[in-house]
Amino acid sequence: MYIRDLLAYRKSTDKQLSRYIKNILGFYPNNIVLYQLAFTHKSTISNNDKFKLSNERLEYLGDAVLEIAVADYLFHTYPTQQEGFLTEMRSRIVSRASLNKLSQKLGFDNYIRYNHDNSDNTGFKSLGGNTFEALMGAIYLDKGFEFTKKTIINRIIRIHIDLDQLEQTDVNFKSKLLEWGQKHKHHVDFRLINTSKENNRKFFHVQIFIDDEPYADSCDFSIKGAEQLSAEKTWNMLSE
Contact residues for 132 (Cβ-Cβ < 8 A; gap 6+): 62, 99, 102, 103, 108
Q: Residue 177: which of 233, 132, 95, 219 has the closest Cα?
A: 233
Average pLDDT, consecutive stretches of 10 residues, N- to C-terminus, the chain (240 residues): 45 83 96 93 66 83 95 95 88 86 91 68 68 97 97 96 81 85 93 82 88 90 83 84
91 φ/ψ angles, rounded to the nearest 5 degrees: -60, -35
- Write down the catalytic residue from 88, 133, 142, 232: 133
- Write down the catalytic residue from 59, 63, 220, 227: 63
| Residue 239 confidence (pLDDT) | 78
Task: Look up the pTM and report it.
Answer: 0.67
- CA atoms lying within 13 Å on the CB side of residue 33: 1
- CA atoms lying within 13 Å on the CB side of residue 117: 1
Query: Could you give the maximum distance between any two Cα atoms of the chain, in Å?
Result: 63
Residue 63 is a catalytic residue: yes
CA dihedral 73, 75, 78, 80 (to 10 degrees): -170
